[in-house]
Structure 1
Amino acid sequence: MQYDWILFDADETLFSFDAYAGLKAMFAALDVDFTPEDFAEYQLVNKPLWVQYQDGEISAKQLQEDRFNVWSDRLNISPAELNRRFLDAMADVCQPLEGVRDIVPELAKHAKLGIITNGFVQLQQIRLERTGMTDYFDLVVISEEVGVAKPDVAIFEHTFALAGNPDKSRVLMVGDNAASDILGGNNAGVDTCWLNVDGKALPEGVTPTYTATSWADIKTFLLN
């Protein structure tokens, strides 16, 4: 194994993130039939907020609450409460991607593993516990706690400090989002593996060390 540390993104890298299923479950508990049209409307608000968050323009709290402002007015429930209910529903919905349950334990025999996520505290730990994966990860770094999000180099430097400042040539960042995970790894001076399951185009100026189309590819790169 050429790496001492392998750092993973969480959503759509380790775990599926079916926001529509989570929202549908959350609203069903409130006796609301959440439709695909409702989801499209939600995404018109949610997606730009995530870009602002990754660019450091808004806080995690603003993102989490502003995306529910419309529904807060409709249901007379606070945005913070709707967000809490949503993340709780997502903890039930999110499952490891195909190959993760088998390959992560194998990788953990050869390197230390960590998570760097732009996700939120409420979801991360409970999801690791419910999927039985807590013990495989030596550290979990969450942007909401650190105060900066990928691709900001500061969240990587914070992670390196927690890891004991390893040799960067022996650190790999694995993620599905080229604009945050791979650009962030580029900024931090470490190798990167882009998990590109859907054949997305690579943004200009972003250069992964490896590109994988599945977890089987990741296993081949790292263990064969």
Structure 2
Amino acid sequence: MGSLALFDLDDTLIALSPAFRRFARDFARQYALPAEAEDWLFRAWDPYQRRDEFFARVRERYGLAESVEDLWRLYRTRMPEFVELRDEVRDGLVAMRRAGWRLGIVTNGEADNQLGKVERTGLDRLVDSVAVSGALGIRKPDAEIFRIAAEGAGCALADGGWMVGDNAHADIEGGAAVGLRTVWVDGIEGRWDVAPAATVVVKDVVEAFPILLTRPC
């Protein structure tokens, strides 16, 4: 059995901000919004904000007839079309698989949105398991979602492994709590008031691949 590495999805394997910028441009065009709308949408968007709250603000600001739920559904349907997987991230995952690692994705979010991103980018063909909170009814840092992701990859948490992610609480504290070593992808300085006690800290997930390849469980 190979070593286990679990990865967060958003702002770890894929970058949300450029994808949302493309979504905002398309959304503003679709609804014939004022010229300033794309920039306002991008500035107002917070990846950690509840999406229904965000679209309630959008609906009120621009007087849209669609319900908040319809706008939220549109986002979940369209957002996967705008995400991209960088070649260097794909190459890193391929190198780990070739080296015998078992790989999984563990992500919080709605099932249609998150699975759409995974399939759109081809990540489903690069990993052994995908655990999505919206499909399972549990969220990181709950230990159960890590267990499901590990077992889906053919591994047991008791055998150790790595969790790689950008969220200090959900990914790093959650991964450490189930016995995994952790890589914190701290791409945005100052996001967290208290830095987590990660095993390794990197600025970009690409930096994590050579580290993991030399430090199997």
TM > 0.5: yes
Cα pair 2:130 2:152 within 8 Å, conserved: no
Quick one: structure 1 residues 219 and 71, their matched pair in 2 at CA, closer, same or farther if it must change by over 3 Å? closer
For the residue of structure 1 that corresponds to 2:76, the secondary structure is: helix
Cα pair 1:98 1:215 within 8 Å, conserved: no
Give the TM-score, by structure 1 length.
0.79
Q: 2 CA distance for matches of 1:70 and 1:22? A: 17
Structure 1 equivalent of residue 186 of structure 2: 196
Aligned equivalent of 1:36, options 26, 36, 39: 39
Q: How does 1:71-220 map to 2 (within 5 A)?
A: 71-73=58-60, 74-97=63-86, 99-109=88-98, 110-163=100-153, 166-200=156-190, 203-204=193-194, 206-220=196-210
Q: 2 CA distance for matches of 1:116 and 1:15? A: 13
RMSD over equivalenced CA pairs, Å:
2.6
Quick one: structure 1 residues 124 and 214, their matched pair in 2 at CA, closer, same or farther if it must change by over 3 Å? same
User: Percent identity, aligned pairs only?
Assistant: 27
Q: Which runs of 5+ in 1 are unaligned?
A: 50-62
Quick one: structure 1 residues 20 and 12, their matched pair in 2 at CA, closer, same or farther if it must change by over 3 Å? same
Give the TM-score, by structure 2 length.
0.81
Cα pair 1:169 1:191 within 8 Å, conserved: no
For the residue of structure 1 that corresponds to 2:16, the secondary structure is: coil
Query: Which deviates the most, 149-158 or 133-142?
Result: 149-158
Quick one: structure 1 residues 173 and 95, their matched pair in 2 at CA, closer, same or farther if it must change by over 3 Å? same
Q: 2 CA distance for matches of 1:216 and 1:84? A: 32
Q: Which runs of 5+ in 2 are unaligned?
A: none
Q: 2 CA distance for matches of 1:98 and 1:147? A: 32
Quick one: structure 1 residues 200 and 41, their matched pair in 2 at CA, closer, same or farther if it must change by over 3 Å? closer
Q: How does 1:6-21 map to 2 (within 5 A)?
A: 6-18=5-17, 19-21=20-22
Q: 2 CA distance for matches of 1:86 and 1:167? A: 34
Query: Which deviates the most, 110-119 or 192-201?
Result: 192-201
Q: How many residues align?
A: 207
